[in-house]
Amino acid sequence: MTSDVEFRNVSKFFGTHAAVDNISFSVPAGSFFSLLGPSGCGKSTTLRMTSGFEFPDRGDILIAGENMAGIAAYRRPTNMVFQRWALFPHMTVFDNIAFGLSVERQPRDIIRRRVGEALELVGLTQFASRKPRQLSGGQMQRVALARALVKRPKVLLLDEPLGALDLKLRMQMQLELKRIQREVGTTFIYVTHDQGEALTMSDQIAVMNNGRIDQLGSPQEIYDHPATRFVAGFIGNANLLPVQLAAEGAGRSAGMATVSMGGFTFPTQIAQEPTGDKGWIVIRYERIRVGDAARAMPIRTQARVRDAIFAGSTVHYVMAIEPAGTEITVETGHDGLSSPLMQGSLVDIGWEPGVTRLFGDV
């Protein structure tokens, strides 16, 4: 598959601090690619280097096979949707969208037609003569999208474009963005700190941490098989529990190890080989079964309910695993009929051996 954007060993320093630390990745043409991470992880710098607002100190950036070294932002085949949309306040919606085309000195009728198409794509045809301040957040967001797409960029860059919208609107725009991406077939590079957003929209996600890419993969790969402790903790809700490894070689088979936690011994998948005899396992809240469902699980123990948090469709329990009292959080579905478990009650909990992942002690 051809790649639209390729980073080769790219680093960017601000002073002595490496904002982006030797990263390499390639984005397949026509895909929805997300850069996900907490603030300060280097995702925005990565995006700004792609758009040409920043230049790498080391390494190469290729767009559509062409090296972008020394090529200014206004000469790159990329367009950007800005965090707060950056619409030109003194121009109408039409003029905002037409700006990129009029810079290219396109004929008037072509501008009118293409702006019309772009307005239609985002469903804002009747707002063409409005000024940005007369629009709602969601509408401004669509104008920003239309303004960037009207230039037919090879790659569309989106810098947390939904961050300023409220939750309901954000969900709706996620679906719409995905629809538009399918419709135009342009490569999208999407920067976000919202894991839910990245999981629902992306074909591929690069999870960034401290200027590096911790893991690159499909949403499911990243969710089910986090490569580092950071990824496991950042995406979804997961318990991080300290464990003791069984004696050298004992209980080892094809990617599995035996660990114990306060006397409770069980097998786990290895994600990262620990250097010593201590490590951490990660298990997601919703992978733990409770009560009757737990009894069918190969790995089983008992835990005491310390706290129950009702969240509508789910219930979160904070439990202490017997006998050592290691705290673990469990998420169960709520059926709308049964009442949640009582505080202080002793229940069975259990899980499949494949759902825990072992990480080193770093």
Partner 1 sequence: MLAPSLALMLYAFVLPMLTFFEYSFYTFRRGKLLDEFSLTTYRRFLFDAYYQTIVLDTLWMATLTTLLALAIGYPLAFALWRLERPWMKRWLSLIIFSPIIVSVVVRSYGWIVLLADQGPVNWILKTSGLAAEPVTLVFNLVGVVLSLAHVFLPFVVFPIYSSMSRIDPALREAAMDLGAGWLRTFRSITLPLTLPGVVAAVQIAFTLALGAFVTPAMLGGGRVLVLPLQVYNATAEINWPVAAVGGLVLLVIAIIVVALCNRLLKYSEA
Residues that bind partner 1 (CB under 8 A): 51-53, 72-75, 78-80, 82-84, 86-90, 99-100, 103-104, 147-148, 151
142 versus 147: smaller Cβ distance to partner 1: 147
Query: Closer CB to partner 1, residue 73 or residue 320?
Result: 73
Nearer to partner 1, 75 or 168 (CB): 75
157 vs 10: CA distance, rounded Å: 18
- Measured from the CB atom, the residue of 142 and 357 that comes closer to partner 1 is 142
Q: List strands edge to edge, sheet with 58-63.
A: 17-28, 3-14, 58-63, 66-67
State which residue, 56 or 274, has the beta carbon closest to partner 1. 56
C-alpha span between 158 and 270 (Å, rounded): 35
Based on the number of CB atoms within 10 Å of its own CB, is 252 exposed (0-12), middle (13-18) or buried (19 or more)? middle
Question: Measured from the CB of residue 102, what is the shortest distance to partner 1 in angstroms?
Answer: 9
CB of 160 to partner 1, least distance (A): 12
Buried b (16+ CB within 10 A) or exposed e, 312-336: eeebbbebbbbeeebebbbbbeeee
Task: Report the run of H or E that residue 144 belongs to, with start and end.
Answer: helix 137-149
Sort residue 152 into left (φ over 0), alpha (ψ -120 to 50) or beta: left
Q: CA–CA separation, 94 vs 353, rounded Å?
A: 57
Minimum CB–partner distance for residue 39 and partner 1 (Å)? 17
Residue placing its CB nearer to partner 1 in the complex, 163 or 360: 163
Provide the residue type at 313 as one letter: S
Comparing CB distances to partner 1, the nearer of 11 and 92 is: 92
Q: Which of 164, 172, 92 is nearest to 133 (CA)?
A: 92
CB of 86 to partner 1, least distance (A): 4
The amino acid occupying position 17 is H
Taking the complex as a whole, the smallest distance from the CB of residue 84 to partner 1 amounts, in Å, to 7
Q: How far is the CB of 146 from partner 1 (least distance, A)?
A: 12
Residue 128 C-beta: closest distance to partner 1, Å: 17
- Contact 325/290 with Cβ under 8 angstroms? no
